[in-house]
Structure formats: structure tokens, C-alpha cells
Chains A and B, each alone.
Chain A
Amino acid sequence: MRRRPNTRDGDLLGGTLDMLILQTLKTGPAHGFAIAQSVAHRSDEVLLVEEGSLYPALHRLEDRGWISARWGVSENNRRAKFYTITGRGRKQLAAEATRWIQLATAVARVMEPGS
């Protein structure tokens, strides 16, 4: 029997993809391709995700009620699903961001040369 996939199985470091998606959506609703573009662009193409892996993540976030989805029309006049961050999503993002910053700071301190 297959199990429900682990909650922290983003392709990036645990939970990072989720955070990036939420962060992207903070500026307004977007469809899947736009989110992928935005993540890639904002990280100066460092965080190059396999775009397909976005969808399980989007699905998971929707399942938890952090984002909501509805069908709309893209700038190229194509039917696409638009995702919007919810109130709970914002709260989650804040928590994740704090955690991330703490983690990043800690890691940075460990890696600091000379200490």
C-alpha cells in the first residue's frame, strides 16, 4: 500500500518550495507558469525548479487551505488556473519565513570563516 507522501517533500530543502510559492503569491494571484517564472526570476535563476513539481506542491497547499484556486484567463488569453494566498496562508508564510531566517542565520554563523 502506498502512503500519503510525506508533508515535507518539496524538491528543495524541506518546505522551501512551499514558502517560495506563498511568497510569490503575496504580491497577487498567479497561474502555475507565472509562479514558476517568478520563483526562477527572483532567485536570479539559482532556484531552478522542475516546473512540473510545482503542481503537487500547489495541490498540497490548496489541500491545507493556505491558497485557493479558481479558473481565469491568462495574459495570453488562455484559460488557466489562478492561485491566491489565503489568510491562513499569510500566517503560515510569516511563520515559515521566521523559521527560515533563523535557520539561515544559524547556518551562516556555522559556515562563517574564521570563528
Chain B
Amino acid sequence: MKWVRRSALDRERDEEIAAHLAEAIDHYKAQGMSETDAIRTARLRFGNPRAYREKVDDMNRLPVVDVLARDLRYALRRLRQAPAFNATVIVTLALVIGATSAVFSLADAILLRPLPLPEPHRLAVVSFKRVSAAGEFVGPSVDGAMWAAVRDHATLIDSAVSIWGSPSVSLIVAGSPSFVRTQQIGDGYFRVLGVAPILGREFSSEEARPGGPPVAILSFEFWQRVFQGRADAIGQPVLLRGEPFTVVGVMPEGFEGLAESAVWTPLRGAGQGLNYMVVARAREGVTFEQANAELAALRETPFAMLRPNATTKRSLVLTPLQDALVATVRQPLVMLGWAVAAVLLIACVNIAALLMARSVSRSKEVATRMALGGSRIAVVRQLMIESLVVALIGGAAGVLVAFAGLEALKAIGETTFSQWARVTLDARTIAVSLGLSGLTSVLFGLLPAWQTSRIDVQAALAGGGSRSIAGGSSHVLRRLLVGAEVALGVVMLVGGGLLLRQFMFLQSLDPGFTPDRLYSISTSLQDARYRDPAVINQLFSSSIERLHHTPGIEAAAVSQGLPYQRLLNVVFRVEGRPDDDAQPPIANVAYITPGFFQTFGIAFKEGRAIDDRDRVNMPSVAVVNETFRQIYFKGEAAIGRRIRYANLTMEVVGVSRDVQQFAGGFTLPQMRRGPIVTSPTVYLPAAQLDRGLLTAFSPVWTVRARSAADAAAALTAAITAADPLLPLGPLRAMEQVIGESMAQPRLLMLLVGTLAVAALLLSAIGLHGLITHIVSERTREFGIRLALGAPTGKIVRAVVQSGVALAAIGALVGVGLSFPASSLVAASVPNLSTRDLPTYLSVAVLLVIVALVSSLFPTLRIARLDPVKILRE
């Protein structure tokens, strides 16, 4: 490539010309000329060396590259000429591109990237679909009968069952207890996923049935840790929940199944309740439609365990596996994606407006270039290259911001969204960042560049743009841009405002108990030694007894779950209330030990709390909360009423005040919607329960103590004294539990709020820039008007009014756009009203203030104008 070796060629050519001249001079001297004459003749006959050099130059160059290189040099020079302006643009771009890339990398890794399993597009989850007057509901959880129907009759899919979730259970290695996550799976589970064990085998159908032998499959990492990767681990026992399980297989490195497990055990039969997940792989060449048609043909067979229901249409359908796994995180991510995209757009609009303002002030330069013969394309190209350079610098800085941004997002988000933890920035994301910056440069560069190139050369050179009165057409476009910016800003603010309102609402809720100085520790009873309800109750009573005698501990109790947490829910029968299929009496249920209500400070509306009288051989009792009484007893007196669950009939002895719980499992028309609700709840004495309810969720010990240290010491001592082998979770203050229950709304509020503030700032900058420009352009006009006696206030008011009016129009459009956009927010946060009047009002007031301030500042210059000076210029 010749242009690369340009300087070498230059030298060679100069040398050749010099040699030519020297030869010529020698030649003429030899003919008898004097030295001076010889030189003159040689030069004369050679002609102008420069002209020929340029001709050769032109032949040698690669025109496009050379021209671009020249434009680039020029662009860099211009960058240095306006450092503050360009720094603003670059920093703005870096921030928005960084934020966009960080959010994109999350969305890409979680929503777009296929699962790391062979042929993931053939994988699905069998979902239970109900269609009734109340609407359509599709959930990926099924019961035993549904699984059996799929297993026995669906021939177009290869399917396997597992239990939903992977609880942490106690595992004992060499006498020391620890928590590991385990999942129960049926036979063929790994075959369906398409991942084979690297050692041993997966479960057989003999192992995965009621009464099957206790066997286990280990994850690669767990095998490395416990067996140091020894092949003879196969056949060895591991003590899980106090029971020895024989290792039969080891999975490949990095494989955690669908539920991040370390140990898998056989699911010994699937029973009642929607607790199971059926994963299916469409057989070769079979589409989901064909498989769904086969499932639809099963009719009522899968629903044998459910009560017949004429008004609800039930069916089984396939949900693509990835969709099922990301169902809960999709909406928030989609919302965040739109939010950063909106900010990116605002930033581009802003930069375009800024460039346009500058391009107007550059009109003289451009006019000169065009008058000297620069073509329109050359001018546009030059301006485009300037914005491309700015965009690329911004994009490169944006990649760095994206790294930092992603780490920050993970740091604040991974406790809420565990999937975020594994996401890293990769080449794909970086490519997107750079692509985005290229695209934005086109977006924000083309418009002003085109506009500049359309200037009237003569007018620009003769009049000088800033001297004539109001430059007309360019402002229409700029006003449009700034108006659009304000509109998008309003959408963001309304979104952020709604999230803020919701979070404030959640925080203002009456907990129904006294959270301060409450501390809890949880443990798992998934242990073979805790099969007998009497043993469990012995553990509770002896540890509570010990806590009662510990100084610094005011009260202590054991309960299944805590306020602000999700509780187990079951369907009760209420005596004297007709069975209602459309609305079976479903309620939260929790077992408690005596002293629970006193420990938490929960007041009573009626009757008494559960106390030491309610033992195993005494009449079964229950305490219900206000909401339960309201919904199922129609608000009438509840004492003495009876409710039934399974084979238990309980008499209601008290009605307690409502306590906030994390919503889950069910909603009733009478209930408020949202992440935190007061749902109908039944409290049962632990002493009167059988094993089923007692071991369903982990028990939590709670004390009201002088300090966290007191609580930690006392709880550890009391539980360890009762059973030294129980694995204890960390001590948690009640405030922490409350905080965690609101983590997702808070996270979304923070992220969207930050983006909304950024959007507002950008809009303010845009508006400020526009008004500044208008004022500087019309300085001469204002000077004349002032000289003619116009009051300053009137001029200032007129300019400010135009700014505020623009903002108001933008805001109106924004409010219109906010309705669809806020339904996106509402989709990701339950219990959010999209028509929240205070939110809209405060956004409107905020905008008017911002518009006033950003229009007023530049306008104040008018007041300081000296008419005489201006008129003289």
C-alpha cells in the first residue's frame, strides 16, 4: 500500500528530481553556459517541480483513506479547540452507553443466551393451565397425577419429574454439619436435560419410587471438595438429613442442574399438591404444537387429584424451559432495558441539540468552506467524522463504565436476583457498546450535519448568522428535539415516581407487631432424627426453656416462618360455611410455640393466645387473624368456630391482629395486591401437629433481646445444648428480614429513579442550551428593543415563557406516553396503580420548576445588556 510508505517515496522522488537538475546543469555547462545560466536553463526547462510532485502525489494516494485521514486530523484538532463542550458530550455518552451495556449484558445472559444444555430449544416444562371466568393462569407446577398422565401417555416428549426448588439440608461429613442444596429428581432427569454423569450413572426407576433405596448423585464441585475427586466415591455413603445415602454418580464440572444443587437424591414418587416440575424434551422432529395436541388429548386424566370443577377449563401445555426459568426476572429486566434505552435516546437527542447549536455558530466556517468549493457531501462528511470520533471515544469510555456498572448492579442486585451473580461482560456486550456508539453518532450527528450543510452561503457570509433577527427554521427542529427529550424524561419520572410511591407505601405499612430488638436464627429439621413430632417438640421446649432463663433475653418463641416472609398455605374447611369451589378457604398457616404473640408483640382482637395448655392430648385449637375472620367468618365473632385441615378439627380460641407477610401462593379478591400483604392466616400450636406440617418449612427461633450479641450467644447456646448437630443459619435482625422482603421494589426504585434523575438533568441541560442559544442569537434584537424603551421584564418573561411552554407541551406528550410505559412498571411491581394522581402532579410540578430555572438562568443575561454597546457592534 503506497500511502503507507509515503515519506520514503517522497524522499526518493525529491532525490530523482535533484539528480535530474544536476545532470541538466552539468549538460548545459558542458555546452559552454555559465553556472548561473546553466541553473536557470535547467530550472526553466524542468518547469515547476511542485506541480509535478502534486501530480505524482495524486496518483499515489488512496483517495478515500487520505481524505478520511485528513478529516480525522481536523476533527481531533476541533476536539482540542472546545475541550469543555466535547468532554461534556463524551462523559454523557460514556455514562449512558456504559449503563446500557451493563443492563444489556444482564438481559443478554439471562433472557437471550440459550441454556447451556444440548439443543435447548427442544426443552420445555409441562405447565398447568386453568381458564375460568377469572382469567387465564399458566403455572409450571404440577401434581403427581398430572406427572403420571404425562409419563404414561405422552409419547411425543421424553419427560422426567423433579421437585420445585432445592432446599438446603444438613449434611454430615466427618462429624461436622453443613448446609448443602439438594434437589429430588426422578429417573431420566439428566437424560432429558441431555447431560450424562461423568462417573457412575443416574437414578433408575427402581430407585425413584416409594420405598426405593437411598442413593445420591453429587455435583463435580461437591465431589472434589468431599471426596477430593476420588473415583472410589461411588458406593460410599454420605449422611444426608441423618440418613446414609450411597453415591451412585457424579455430574460434569460446572453442572448445577436447574436449581443450583450440589447433591441430588431420588424423588420417591410424586404426590398431592402443585409441588413438582416436569421437564420435557420434544422427541426428534416433534414440534411443541404437536406435543401440546397430544397433551390436550389427555382431557381429565391428569386432574384426578383435584376436585371436579365445571367452571374451570384445565389442561397441560408446554412452556419453553428458558421462559419458565426466567419468568420472575423477565419483567424487571425488560423494564430496566426500556429505561436505559430511554436515557440513551434522551442523551442522543441532547447531544444532537448541542451539536446543532454549535453547528449554527460554525455556519460561517462552513459557508467559507462551501464558498471555496467544498461540496455539501464533503462538509457533511467532515461533520459526521467529528461526531463519530466523539462517539467512539465515548463508546470506549462506555465499555469501562459498563464494567464498573455491571459490578455495581451485581453488588446491589444479586441478593434479589440470584441469576445476576454469574453474569460477566463479554465480547458480545463490548461489540454492542461500540455498535451503539457508532449508531448514536449517526443519530446525533447526521441531523445537525445535514442542517449545517443546507445553510445559505451568501446570507451566512454577508449577514453573519448571529446578527440577523431570529434564525428561524433551525429552532423548529431544536424545539422538537428538546420537547421530545422532556417527554421521555416525563415517562421516566412517572415510572420512577410510581416505584417510589410503592416503596413508600410498603414502608409505611403497619407491621402489626414490634420489630425492634427481635433477632432470629433458623435451622433445618430435614433430618432422620426428627421424624417424631414428640422429638421436635422436645427440641423446641427444651431450647425455649433455656432461653427463658438466659439473662438479657426478654422473650423467646419458635415459629414456622416470620412476619414479612412467605408462609406455607393450605386449604381449610370452615364449618358452617358452604363449600365454594370458586373460592376455597385458602389461608397461610404457621405453627408456633406458646409465647409467640407475646414475643412479637402481636395484640389480640378477641379471645386468647396459644399457651402451655394446648398440649398434644388436649382439644385442638387455632388462632386466626383479623383478615381470616373478615373473609371466612364474614367479620362475625370467631371464638368457638371450628375449622378443619386434613384430619384435624380445630376450635378457634382467639383472633390476633394482622401481621404483614410476603405474598405468595394465592391472592383473594378481598386482599390488597402486592409483594407485602395481610393475608388470612391460621396459627396452630406446634405441640398438636403431626410430622407433615412440622417439617414442611424450617423452624425459626426468635428472641427479643438487649442486643444482637446477647441474642446470638443465647440462641446458639440454647439450640446447641438441645442438639449439637443441628446446622444453624446466621443471626438475623427483624429489620433485616423486613428489608429483604422489600429488596426487589427498592432495587427497582433505585435503578429506575437514578435513570429518571439522569433523564431530568439531561432535559434541563437541553432546555438550558436551547434558551441560551436563542438569547445569544437575539442579543442584537433585544438590544434594539431595550434601546427603544421596552421593559427588561417583558423581554425576559417572553423568553422564559417560550421555554416553559415548550416543557409543558413535552410534559403533556410525556404523560400520554406514561400510561403504556407505567403499565410496564406495574407489570414488574405488583400492587402499583398506573393512574396515581400524586405521582403525576409532582412530576408536573418538578418539571415546571426545572423548566423555569433552566430557562431563567440564560435569560438573566438580557437584564445586563448594554443597548448602546450592542448597537455599536
Binding site for B on A (CB under 8 A): 1-5, 31-34, 36-37, 50-53, 55-56, 59-60, 63, 74, 76, 78-81
Cα(A53)–Cα(B55), bound, Å: 9
Known A1-B63, A5-B55, A56-B52; judge A76-B15 contact (CB<8 A): no
Nearest CB in chain A: distance from B47 CB, A: 4
B48 interfacial by beta-carbon distance below 8 Å: yes
Given A32-B19, A76-B22, 5 more pairs with CB closer than 8 A: A36-B45, A50-B46, A59-B59, A74-B23, A79-B15
Contact A79 B58 (CB under 8 A): no
B581 within 8 A of A: no
**B41 to nearest A CB, angstroms?**
11
By CB atoms of chain B within 10 A, which of A5, A51, A78 has the most? Answer: A51
Partner of B47, one of A50, A59, A63, A80: A50
Closest residue of chain B to A11, judged by CB? B47
Report A77 CB to chain B, min CB distance, Å. 10
The answer to whether A53 touches B52 (Cβ under 8 A) is: yes
Q: Does B582 contact A (CB under 8 A)?
A: no
Please tell me if the beta carbons of B20 and A32 are within 8 angstroms of each other in the complex.
Answer: yes
Q: Which residues of B contact A (CB under 8 A)?
A: 12-13, 15-17, 19-20, 22-24, 26-27, 45-49, 51-52, 55-56, 58-60, 63, 67, 375, 378
Would you mind naming 26 contact pairs between A and B with Cβ atoms under 8 Å apart?
A1-B375, A4-B58, A31-B19, A31-B23, A32-B16, A32-B19, A33-B24, A33-B27, A50-B46, A50-B47, A51-B47, A52-B47, A52-B48, A52-B52, A55-B52, A55-B56, A56-B52, A56-B55, A74-B19, A74-B23, A76-B23, A78-B22, A78-B23, A80-B20, A80-B23, A81-B19
| B58 partner residues in chain A, CB cutoff 8 A | 2, 4-5
Interface centre among A33, A53, A60, A74 (most CB of B within 10 A): A33
Please name all residues of chain A whose beta carbon is closer than 8 Å to the beta carbon of B55 when the two chains form the complex.
Answer: 5, 56
Question: Which residues of the partner chain B approach A53 to less than 8 Å between Cβ atoms?
Answer: 47, 52
A1's partner among B47, B48, B67 (CB-CB below 8 A) is: B67
* Residues from chain A with Cβ under 8 Å of B59 in the complex: 4-5, 56, 59-60, 63
Q: How far is the CA of A74 from the CA of B21 in the complex (A)?
A: 13
Contact assessment for B67 and A55 in the assembled complex, using a CB-CB cutoff below 8 Å:
no
Complex Cα spacing A37 to B49, Å: 18
Closest 6 CB pairs of A and B: A52-B47, A50-B47, A33-B23, A56-B55, A52-B52, A80-B19
Q: Please tell me which one of the listed residues A3, A5, A37, A55 contacts residue B27 in the complex, with CB atoms under 8 A apart.
A: A37
Q: How many A-B residue pairs have CB under 8 A?
A: 76
Chain B neighbourhood of A79, CB < 8 A: 15, 19
Separation of A1 and B48 alpha carbons in the complex (Å): 23
B51:A52 contact, CB within 8 angstroms: yes
Q: Is the interface of B mostly helix, strand, loop or mixed?
A: helix
Cα–Cα distance between A74 and B23 once the two chains are bound (Å): 9
Roughly how many angstroms separate A5 CA and B56 CA in the complex, as a whole number? 9
Give which listed residue, A33, A52, A59, A76, contacts B49 with CB less than 8 A: A52
Closest-CB distance, B9 to chain A (whole angstroms): 10
Across the interface, do B63 and A2 meet the contact criterion of CB distance under 8 Å? yes
Residues of B near A60 (CB, < 8 A) are: 59
* Chain A nearest CB, measured from B61 CB (Å): 9
**Distance, CA A80 to CA B51, complexed state (A):** 21
What residues of A have a CB within 8 angstroms of the CB of B67 in the complex?
1
Inter-subunit contact A51/B56 (CB<8 Å)? no
What residues on A are CB-neighbors of B12 within 8 Å?
81
- Contacts of A37 on B, CB cut-off 8 Å? 27
Instruction: Kindly provide the distance from the CB of B707 to the nearest chain A CB, expressed in whole angstroms.
Output: 80
CB distance from A109 to the nearest CB of B (A): 35
Cα–Cα, bound, A34→B13 (Å): 17
B16 near A81 with CB under 8 A, answer: yes
Task: Compute how far the CA of A79 lies from the CA of B16 in the bound complex, rounded to whole angstroms.
Answer: 9
Return chain B residues, CB-CB under 8 Å to A5. Answer: 55, 58-59
Tell me the bound Cα distance from A4 to B45 in angstroms. Answer: 26
In the assembled complex, the CB of B374 is this many whole angstroms from the nearest CB of chain A, namely 10
- What B residues does A52 contact at CB under 8 A? 17, 46-49, 51-52
Kindly state the separation between the CA atoms of A101 and B19 in the bound complex, as whole angstroms. Answer: 35
B375 — which chain A residues lie within 8 A by C-beta? 1
Asked if A33 and B20 make an inter-chain contact with CB atoms under 8 angstroms apart, the answer reads yes
Nearest chain B CB to A45 CB, angstrom units = 12
- Alpha-carbon gap, A5 to B17, bound state (A): 21
Which A residue sits closest to B42, measured CB to CB? A51
Residues in A with CB closer than 8 Å to B24 are: 33, 51
| Alpha-carbon distance A92/B47, docked complex (angstroms) | 28
- Nearest CB of chain B from residue A4's CB, rounded to whole Å: 7
Q: In the bound complex, do residue B19 and residue A78 qualify as a contact, i.e. CB atoms below 8 Å apart?
A: yes
Contact of B13 among A1, A55, A76 (CB under 8 A): A55
A53 to B51, CA, bound (A): 9
B229 to chain A, nearest CB (A): 67
Q: Among A1, A51, A52, A74, find the residue whose CB has the most chain B CB atoms closer than 10 A.
A: A52
- B20–A51 touching, CB < 8 Å: yes
A76 to chain B, nearest CB (A): 5
Q: Are the C-beta atoms of A4 and B16 separated by less than 8 Å?
A: no
Residues of B within 8 A of A31 (CB): 19-20, 23
Q: Bound state CA distance, A76 and B24, in angstroms? A: 11
- Point out the residues of chain B lying under 8 angstroms from A33, CB to CB: 19-20, 23-24, 27
- Whether the pair B23, A56 counts as a contact (CB closer than 8 A) is no
A62 to B19, CA, bound (A): 19
B19 touches A56 (CB 8 A): no
Measured CB to CB, the closest approach of chain B to A34, in angstroms, equals 8
Once the chains are docked, how many angstroms separate the CA of A76 from the CA of B26?
8
Chain A residues within 8 Å of B15, by CB = 79
Distance A52 CA – B50 CA, assembled complex (angstroms): 9
Known: A4-B63, A32-B16. A50 touches B23 (CB 8 A): no
Q: Is there an interface contact between B63 and A56, defined as CB atoms closer than 8 Å? A: no
| A59-B52 Cα distance, complex, nearest whole Å | 11
Contact (Cβ within 8 A) A59 B56: yes
Query: Residues of B contacting A74 with CB < 8 Å?
Result: 19, 23
Q: Which residues of B contact A81 (CB under 8 A)?
A: 12, 16, 19
Contact (Cβ within 8 A) A56 B56: yes
On chain A, the residues within 8 Å of B20 by CB distance are 31-33, 36, 51, 80
Q: How far is the CB of B361 from chain A (nearest CB, A)?
A: 27
> A3 to chain B: which residues have CB within 8 Å?
63
**A residues less than 8 Å from B23 (CB atoms):** 31, 33-34, 74, 76, 78, 80
Chain A contacts for B27, CB-based, 8 A: 33, 37
